[in-house]
Structure 1
Amino acid sequence: MPKRQAEDEKAAGPLKGGERPDAMDVDDKDNDMGEFEDEFEDEFSEEEIIEAGVDGRPDTEREAEEMEVDSAAPETFIVGRTKLEPGQTLVPDASTYRMLHHLSTPWPCLSFDIIRDGLGDNRSVYPVTMYTVAGTQADSARANDNSIMVMKFSGLSKMQGGGDDSDSDTESSDDDDEDDDPILEHKSIPLTSTTNRIRAHQTPSQDSSKPPITLVATMTESSNVLIHDITPHLTSFDTPGTVITPQQNKPVCTIRAHKVEGYGIDWSPLHPAGKLLTGDCEGIIYMTTRTDGGGFVTDTRPFVGHQGSVEEIQWSPSEASVFASASTDGTVRVWDIRSKARKPAITMKISDVDVNVMSWSRLTTHLLASGDDAGVWSVWDLRQWKPGAAGAAGAASSVGKPTPIASFNFHKEQITSVEWHPTDDSIVAVSAGDNTVTLWDLSVELDDEESKDTGGVQDVPPQLLFVHYQNLAKEVHWHPQIPGVLVATGEEFSVFRTISV
């Protein structure tokens, strides 16, 4: 966990050693000093002699001073419980990370996505390289400074001493890499509006010898949804001399169906050509499909049912016609795109406040995680959600709230992102407005006896694995090809891997 470090500007520096005294000018032949007399001789009996340490002081006195120094060492910071004193700041405990890097952009990028690359799956060799795409949030007075940033992070090295010996056969033997600074390269696509949410999708190229086409959908503050082909931007990083033309910076499609801005957006993982859902602040959801010719068509019949803003949309990872949406009306609704009525099949009231985010497990597809405005995140078993007559009409399909299979009220501010681990359905990453990213292991359970040995820390669930400090934390994503590596964004980007995952 992060630790807090007191900054003491008045701390004294190390004592300076004095000069060696000049040797005494003594003539051995004519020594008038006489015999040296010990004035302390026989003052203590042999049994009463006090042993002194290396600095000449009694051991008990020196040990007491060492204990005082130890008590001033950095202590564990517990989110929502520990308060920073004046002059104290949070610093990460480097010994808990395998890798930790911070990368800054000209403006904060509060939404981003990770791009799959051709460097291989399950890679663990350091330094690490990855590709991402993000949308900026420039100052309101400088809206024309906004852009989509297509980025390459490289030189992401392992921390000195990070990890364990079991990794040594797969990691770089070049220790010099560990001291290098990471490199951020980027290509900018100009925008005139802030990005609310951005998501990427890769579709196979018609030429099998070429890399997949990478499409990016951006929900902007202007209410327009922009789709860009960023394939040439990605290619340019590894092809020296490549110049991006103004035409390549233009969107291949602009969706103008929404009347207001929105946040909910997702590409279907089961429609390779490209099928996109977008939801706005009036609760309206539209579907846009990529045609065989490479164009895009938006269905004019919206999905209607939410009584508040659509904050999140996620396609089912296993059923091509099913998606779920979360809203400020406190509900999660499950839809079937084959329905001519365009009404939700299931509606569940899961919170009394806004449901901001959710994540559908790709491994155990009946599990859905959600996060709300009160700082609560929960896990739901969709098999327990049954459609009813009321649900088909768009109202709540059950009396009262359903029961989550797990729920945590650890964070004290709104949940801003939640995402399942791509290969372990017991691990979840969560970011929140308390400037933290937390990692959770749902497989952990403690009985009553074990819970007594938690060090007396109250209200900290045993499932909590790790707390990472991220100022203005907004989104967190697991890298799908580099096990255990996360990227989080807020005031800046953090790329990290802990020793616990």
Structure 2
Amino acid sequence: MGKRAGEEKTQEEEAMEASSAFSAPREVEVERERKRKTKNGAEQLEEEEEALDFEDPYEDEYDEEDRLAAQMKAGASSDSDAESEVEDEGDDEQGKEEEKVVTRAWRPGIDTLAEGEELDFDPSAYEMLHRATMEWSCLSFDILREPHGALRTKPPHTAYVVGGTQAETSKGNRLFIMKWSDLHKTNQDARDSDDESSDESDDEGSDEDPKLDFRIIAHQGTVNRVRCCPQMNRLVATWSDLGEVNVWDIDKQVKRLDDPGAAGPPPTPHQPPKFTYKDHGVEGYALDWNPVHTGKMLSGDVEGCVCLWEPQEGGWAVSKIMHASKKKKKAAPVRFSGVSEGASVEETQWKLGGSGAGDVFATASNDGGIRIYDTRSSTAGPALALLHAHTSDVNALRWSPVHHDLLLSGDEDGCVKVWDERYGEVPLVVMQWHKKPITSVDWHPTDEATFATSSLDDSVALWDMSVEIDEDAEERDRGAKQMEAEKNDDKMPEQLMFVHMGQEHISEIKFHPQIPGVVISTACDGFNFFKTCNI
């Protein structure tokens, strides 16, 4: 994923600056008033929200986050001003004859824009849609499980997210530990429906703006991957493009998000990692915490090496358990046979439940293979080797959290497949719809048939495998379908439920594990937090 262009900073301190702001869709966002006052010829912002108030008695340690917060509020005010101008222009146009606008669903990679056409989203298709922008984009992120309860359906929602940046300079990178709050429904029809179905609105106070509060930790190198330990949220692992895997303790940062006015010095942005492993020697992207055994972890690199992390007093014992076949004659013996010579391990994940949970893991590689290993086994080979699972690089891989034997994968050609570990090399589902490489896949946390995919065609697609084609209806409508097929061979798949767009170079997506149906995506132009009307 390419780095975003920006002004060159001449000082290390300036490299730590960022601008972050939430914005709701223009059609539904409520006008925000900018409050400013002038003193000694300099423009200063009044404090608008407690969550964005960074009072710091230790300003030497905390002044960077003060500046970031001030810029964040300034950015939000600028958005409001722009909307005011648009609304004023709309008022001037009142009374003029409105032109008839014809709308149709956009198919990425298939449709093209004619002269005078433009893309716009339909706000009625979303229950909520919020955006957060940063100075430097986050290539990867993860969601912290927090104590507000599982399966939360009543807004406003709160989410805790950890993201890692890809800044212009290596020293300019950082981890963002973020708290997104007051995330209300943005679809007025959905809010009206709630009002009619209950005496008290589920979305009370929806005129309030969403809030973004955050803390930062300086990070050496671009953050290729971020993963949060499921049993201990305070532990966060990161893969750096400098060839290092770091483990961080973010407990102080999270506590400050919940209690900004807590006594004592704030956490320093220049906090060192709790543990660093440098023996990979090259960068990587594969990283996953064990869902059963606390503190256990896997990391995989671009030379085909996979390391097993096992917690011990004072840190971790890290051992290489797999490397590419015939990689080096002098390489130390490893436990498992690995990917083909010269191949990279793009993704790895422990099995989440069922038989082998916490002991079985899968790897995806750029030789087109998917391999499943069992750490309890004494044999060197994988328990299941899908050596030709895909005809191109396998970029993404994810075990199902509901139907534990199902495995979802996506490749460089835009093809998505669903596998059943029990039935070997024949995929259950093949979806060839995206026109560019798959960048990320994820399962719905409670619906066994629903999953999401993101692609370099700048789209996030939501799928439902339970949708079956009505053969009788197809037979009755065969003539019409044949005519349509002759006009356009690229029909929309029956299982495709929703296509979300509006972001550029989407690199990672995740369903929120505690808010049903909510998807978070990160791209070059920031984060999207959304819930569709049909998932």
TM-score normalized with structure 2 length: 0.72
Once residues 198 and 497 of structure 1 are traced to their aligned partners in structure 2, the CA distance between those partners, rounded to angstroms, is: 23
Q: Which structure 2 residues correspond to residues 73-472 of structure 1 after superposition, within 5 A?
A: 73-86=102-115, 88-139=117-168, 142-163=169-190, 167-168=194-195, 173=201, 177-203=205-231, 212-242=232-262, 243-246=265-268, 249-271=271-293, 273-291=294-312, 293=313, 295-302=315-322, 303-307=336-340, 308-318=343-353, 319=356, 320-339=358-377, 342-348=380-386, 349-385=388-424, 402-451=425-474, 452=477, 456=484, 458-469=490-501, 470-472=503-505
Counterpart contact for 1:288–1:296, Cα < 8 Å = yes
- Give, in whole Å, the separation in 2 of the partners of 1:184 and 1:172: 26
1:478 to 511, 520, 526: 511
Q: CA shift at 1:235, angstroms?
A: 1.1
Q: Is the contact between residue 97 and residue 162 of structure 1 (CA under 8 Å) also seen in structure 2? A: no
SS of 1:181's equivalent in the other structure is coil
User: Compared with structure 1, are the counterparts of its residues 248 and 108 closer, same or farther at alpha carbon in structure 2 (3 Å cutoff)?
Assistant: closer
Name the aligned partner's letter for residue 181 of structure 1. D
How far did residue 125 of structure 1 move? Answer: 1.8
User: Residues 257 and 286 of structure 1 are in contact (CA less than 8 Å); yes or no, is this contact kept in structure 2?
Assistant: no
Letter in 2 for 1:114: I
Which amino acid in 2 is paired with 1:494?
N
Query: Once the 2 structures are TM-superposed, how far is the Cα of residue 129 of structure 1 from its aligned partner?
Result: 0.7
Distance 1:170 1:244, change over 3 A: farther
Match of 1:460, SS state, is coil
Instruction: Quote the offset at 1:156 in angstroms.
Output: 1.0
The answer on whether the counterparts of 1:285 and 1:304 sit within 8 Å (CA) in structure 2 is no
Measure, in 2, the Cα distance between the counterparts of 1:299 and 1:162.
55
Structure 1's 248 and 214: CA in aligned 2 closer, same or farther, altered over 3 A? farther
RMSD: 2.9
- The one-letter amino acid paired with 2:186 is M
Counterpart-to-counterpart distance in 2, 1:244 and 1:250? 15
Q: What is the distance in 2 between the residues matched to 1:277 and 1:160?
A: 41
Offset of residue 434 of structure 1: 0.4
Q: Which moved more, 1:221-230 or 1:251-260?
A: 251-260
| Residues paired across the two proteins, number | 416
How far apart, in 2, do the equivalents of 1:360 and 1:196 lie? 21
TM score, norm. by length of structure 1? 0.77
Compare 333-342 and 122-131 and name the one that shifted more.
333-342
Query: In the TM superposition, what is the alpha-carbon distance from 1:331 to its structure 2 partner?
Result: 0.2
Higher helix fraction (1 or 2): 2
Q: CA deviation at 1:350?
A: 0.7
Write the deviation string for residues 204-228 of structure 1: whole angstroms up to 9, x where unpaired. xxxxxxxx55211101100100000
Q: Check conservation: 2:155, 2:202, Cα contact below 8 A.
A: no
Deviations 1:207-255 (A, max 9, x none): xxxxx55211101100100000112111111112344434982111101
Distance 1:172 1:467, change over 3 A: farther
CA pair 82-189 structure 1, distance change in 2 beyond 3 A: same
